[in-house]
Structure 1
Amino acid sequence: MDPLHDVLTLLGTTSQVSASMVAGGSWALRFDAPDGIKFNAVRRGTCLLRLGGRPEPLPLAAGDCFLLTRPLPYLLLSDPAAVAVPARPIFEAATDGVARTGVGDDFAAVGGAFHFGTRARALLLDGLPPVIHVPAATAEATAIGWAIAQIDTELRHQRAGAALVAEHLAAMMLIQVIRHQLAHEPQLTSGWLAGLADPVVAAALREMHRQPARPWSVAELARAASVSRSTLAARFKEVVGSGPLEYLTHWRVELAVDRLRRGEETLAGIAHAVGYGSESALSVAVKRVTGQSPRAHRRP
């Protein structure tokens, strides 16, 4: 199994593509802190991204994409001297799927957001920096650029199923951005995401995700990764921040909580499916990892 696919699926990842943006001349837009992960991709022109907590603005050019992983307010602007105006009213007044500001159309961008379940912060977002910038010159930007063009076409022409197509394309963008982060700046990533960039740790992660209910030992995982037990234990702890079996416990609990929320299985059935021999053993693990009993995770 692919751990990235597993986690994105478990989080119930959904995407929402907002209106395209066109601007010109001297302009500056102030955006509220986003709900979820915010992305923007520049179609043409240049601008600056000013994010709360960063001392210097980030220059953006055509083909660039950025992902905001924290709920921080930000500015997009063409001119540092421009007076920033709220972005929300401008996007609410969009016509034909396009929000306009300034004078002219030398700048264009497409934006949207990704939304996740309640456990997203610990599983995914804590391992990412506040902003990920994917420059146009990178390999991942080619795929992102294609997706951006298709999203823009779908939004402008509004053919049948346009919103669904745009959402799936946006999800592809998210995967490409994470791939870029793992390939180009793995030192800024922690947790299981960092493990995906490490060949030894990734081999163990794949095995645990492939058979989460198996009674794994560190020695068995080390054999799958073709290293010694001590090497795997040390590497896993250094990269992921926990031992292999501790990670396995947390992943089993995430799987159990997901099944509990669906409300379709008994606690005993869930315990067996995720690798626990009894309801009580699963209950102890769920309470230790999440701070709540299994019952609290059931949908009312």
Structure 2
Amino acid sequence: MADPLTQVVGLLQPSAGFSKLVEGAGAWRVSRAEAGRPFYCAVLEGSARLTLGMEAPVLLQAGDFVLVPAAHDFSMASLSAGPSLPDSLPTVLRPGVYRLGDPDGPPSSRSMVGYCRFASPDAALLLSLLPRLLHVRGQGRLLTLVQLVDDESRAARPGREVVLQRLLEVLLIEALRATAGPAAPSGLLRGLADDRVAVALRRMHDSPTAPWTVAQLARAAALSRSAFFDRFRRVVGVTPMDYLLHWRMALAKDLLRRGVAGLAEVAGQVGYSSASTFSTAFARHVGLPPGAYARARAAE
């Protein structure tokens, strides 16, 4: 049966942006106003404080990994930094290594930080299924993967882009499944942690072309129709049919972008009996007919 988490990460199409090693000494603070880029940080030594927007600060310690799938306003600071401390200007120690705070004192923290990109035209929809912040503690596999990403991003070896894409996919999957569970916010991770809802999610991902109904999915989950509908909406954050529609349209966008199938074939691969029915649904959902969408993506 299909693994929804692997499929979502695969459709996101992560690619490398950049990574760097950041040392902190004394009191320091750095703020960023990003445009929704995915940001990650692996704390190698020491500690720091991460703040997303107006949310409560998160204490980061050595061995922690954080991933913000769509970063906007956030800041990182030393534990000794007061609220009025201005942003620190980084000092370049050597290529790829930066110092925040005291440029001469011994470092009290070391972190590997970086950004990646999601090439998927449907990234916003897919990211809406994921938590705003993933914070993992004590997972050595994640730190190893971050170091591999950094090493590969600085090398000029053959196949670099393919290797980086695969490493980033594994990094995302490891971070996501390390934070999955009933305490996760509404979305895909919480849905996969619910034994009844997970059955329905896997059925939809395994057979997106099937003419699913709420009643059929409820039977697969061994729940009554009303109990399943309420549980799915509470756990995932959308109704079962809305989730199915979004997933089908994400698959259709990917097929159209890659130009690997004609309109009728795309329609069949995402569960529509005719090209005209699919075109109507696609235009209503996306705002463009499939052909116009494919041409716009090809011109980018």
Q: TM bucket by the smaller chain?
A: 0.7 to 0.9
Equivalenced residues, count: 287
Kept in 2: contact 1:17–1:166 (CA 8 A): no
Residues 247 and 58 of structure 1, relative CA distance in 2, 3 Å threshold: closer
| Post-superposition offset of 1:25 | 2.5
| Post-superposition offset of 1:35 | 4.4
Question: How far apart in 2 are the matches of 1:247 and 1:192?
Answer: 10
**Is residue 287 of structure 1 aligned with residue 283 of structure 2?**
yes
- Structure with the bigger percentage of strand: 2
| Post-superposition offset of 1:285 | 1.2
Question: How far apart in 2 are the matches of 1:143 and 1:230?
Answer: 41
- Structure 2 residue aligned with 1:255, among 236, 251, 254? 251
AA partner of residue 124 (structure 1): L
1:96-111 matched pairs, under 5 angstroms: 96-101=95-100, 102=102, 103-111=105-113
RMSD over aligned CA atoms reads: 2.7
Q: Percent identity?
A: 34
Kept in 1: contact 2:47–2:61 (CA 8 A): yes
SS at match of 2:72: coil
Question: How far apart in 1 are the matches of 2:129 and 2:188?
Answer: 10
Residues 290 and 154 of structure 1, relative CA distance in 2, 3 Å threshold: closer
Look up the match of 1:18: 19
**Is residue 68 of structure 1 aligned with residue 68 of structure 2?**
yes
Deviates more, 1:37-46 or 1:77-86: 77-86
Look up the match of 2:262: 266
Question: How far apart in 1 are the matches of 2:251 and 2:73?
Answer: 33
**Is residue 95 of structure 1 aligned with residue 73 of structure 2?**
no
| Post-superposition offset of 1:38 | 0.5
| Post-superposition offset of 1:267 | 1.1
Look up the match of 1:201: 197
| Post-superposition offset of 1:210 | 0.9
| Post-superposition offset of 1:167 | 5.3
Residues 270 and 52 of structure 1, relative CA distance in 2, 3 Å threshold: same
TM-score by length of 1: 0.83
Look up the match of 1:224: 220
- Structure 2 residue aligned with 1:120, among 115, 120, 123? 123
AA partner of residue 289 (structure 2): S
| Post-superposition offset of 1:218 | 3.1
| Post-superposition offset of 1:153 | 5.5
| Post-superposition offset of 1:63 | 0.6
| Post-superposition offset of 1:86 | 4.6
Q: Deviations over 1:180-209 (max 9, x none)?
A: 3322632x2x23343222111111111111
Kept in 2: contact 1:201–1:235 (CA 8 A): yes
Consecutive unaligned residues of structure 2, counting only runs of 5 or more, are: none
Kept in 2: contact 1:24–1:104 (CA 8 A): yes
Kept in 1: contact 2:16–2:153 (CA 8 A): no
AA partner of residue 145 (structure 2): A
Residues 72 and 254 of structure 1, relative CA distance in 2, 3 Å threshold: closer
AA partner of residue 45 (structure 1): G
Kept in 1: contact 2:49–2:59 (CA 8 A): yes
Q: Deviations over 1:107-129 (max 9, x none)?
A: 11111123222322222236423
Look up the match of 2:5: 4
Deviates more, 1:147-156 or 1:281-290: 147-156
1:18-167 matched pairs, under 5 angstroms: 18-33=19-34, 35-54=36-55, 56-78=56-78, 79-81=80-82, 82-86=85-89, 90=91, 93=92, 95-101=94-100, 102=102, 103-116=105-118, 117-125=120-128, 127-129=130-132, 131-136=133-138, 141-151=139-149, 158=155, 160=157, 164=161, 165=163
| Post-superposition offset of 1:248 | 1.9
Question: How far apart in 1 are the matches of 2:125 and 2:77?
Answer: 32
Kept in 2: contact 1:41–1:63 (CA 8 A): yes
- Structure with the bigger percentage of helix: 1
Kept in 1: contact 2:31–2:73 (CA 8 A): yes
AA partner of residue 209 (structure 1): H
Residues 259 and 226 of structure 1, relative CA distance in 2, 3 Å threshold: same
AA partner of residue 86 (structure 2): V
Deviates more, 1:274-283 or 1:170-179: 170-179
SS at match of 1:69: strand
Kept in 2: contact 1:15–1:168 (CA 8 A): no
Kept in 2: contact 1:37–1:67 (CA 8 A): yes
Question: How far apart in 2 are the matches of 1:181 and 1:28?
Answer: 27
| Post-superposition offset of 1:171 | 3.2
**Is residue 238 of structure 1 aligned with residue 241 of structure 2?**
no
Deviates more, 1:241-250 or 1:272-281: 241-250
